[in-house]
Copies of this chain bind each other. A is one copy, B any other.
Amino acid sequence: MSKIGIIQFAPKLGKVNENIQTINELIASKRRCDLYVLPELANSGYRFKNRDEAVLYSERTTNSPFLNALVAIAVAKEAYLVSGFCERSGDKLYNSSVLVGPEGLIGVYRKLHLFLDEKDIFETGDLGLPVFDTPLGKIGMQICFDWMFPETWRVLAMKGAQLIAHPANLVLSYCQGVVQSYAIINKFFIATANRTGKERDLKFTGQSVLVSPEGIVLKRGEEEENKLIKHEVDLSQALNKHITPRNHALNDRRSDVYGDLNLN
């Protein structure tokens, strides 16, 4: 069994140290989890005035105060963390998600589908759809608006992901229903960690969800509370893709008709 903790909170724009402190406080508020999932851009906040401001609040994956803090948590708690991360690489910015464990930074996913003005700030993701094999099970990542694209979730299922960690900064609440559907059709767990609070003209909607492979919302956050939302799950359930003894969510696919998605 794995204890999953969704850290729903309101990152402060450009205040990485305050954000680290909030995360530490929320983690300290409950007994340890095996995996923590944080919102999109949890190091930087979201509503940048322009690209220059985003550059200012971005971090490289080397010598990042934010990543160092996550690794320290991972070591102290013997846990894994997935977090949104405003990433600078060379001259480029990415809306990224990092997977961190006691061993350090394990992997990065860069958001494939940018929303609205993010297109002025970030490059589109160029690291594909990685799935990482951890002692907890296989973990894939998606970020916020990726929820509109069933292809990515399907690819992650076909690559064996048992849980999709999904940092988000949602302003509407369509997504939570759709991830329930993605969980059902792909038979994996989804942890959508959505932020709360206001930033400039935007209000974020919380209501983070942990969803089972049957599409059941195991735990849901409130709209405004900052909280560690915790629940224990058996990630091995996601290895069973049988719907009936004669039906299989992935093997029944008719790729002879609709082709196949790229798993490279």
- Chain A positions near chain B (C-beta within 8 angstroms): 112-113, 115-117, 119, 124-125, 128-129, 145, 148-155, 174, 177-178, 180-182, 184-185, 215, 243-244, 246-247, 249, 252-254, 257-262
Q: In the complex, which residue of chain B has the Cβ closest to the Cβ of A185?
A: B148
Given contacts A154-B150, A185-B148, contact A257 B129 (CB under 8 A): yes
Cross-chain contact B247 with A155 (CB below 8 angstroms): no
A154 CB contacts on chain B under 8 angstroms: 150-151
Distance, CA A125 to CA B257, complexed state (A): 9
Cross-chain contact A246 with B119 (CB below 8 angstroms): yes
Distance, CA A113 to CA B254, complexed state (A): 7
A241 to chain B, nearest CB (A): 11
A261 CB contacts on chain B under 8 angstroms: 258-259, 261
Cross-chain contact B258 with A259 (CB below 8 angstroms): no
Q: In the complex, which residue of chain B has the Cβ closest to the Cβ of A150?
A: B150
A89 to chain B, nearest CB (A): 18
Q: In the complex, which residue of chain B has the Cβ closest to the Cβ of A154?
A: B150
Q: In the complex, which residue of chain B has the Cβ closest to the Cβ of A118?
A: B246
Distance, CA A250 to CA B249, complexed state (A): 24
Q: In the complex, which residue of chain B has the Cβ closest to the Cβ of A181?
A: B181
A153 CB contacts on chain B under 8 angstroms: 150
User: Top 8 nearest A-B pairs by Cβ distance?
Assistant: A259-B262, A181-B181, A150-B150, A178-B181, A151-B258, A112-B254, A258-B261, A259-B261
Q: In the complex, which residue of chain B has the Cβ closest to the Cβ of A214?
A: B174
* Contact sample, A vs B, 21 pairs, CB 8 Å cutoff: A112-B254, A112-B257, A113-B254, A115-B244, A115-B247, A117-B246, A124-B254, A148-B247, A149-B254, A151-B258, A155-B258, A174-B184, A177-B180, A177-B184, A177-B215, A178-B181, A178-B184, A178-B185, A258-B261, A259-B260, A259-B261
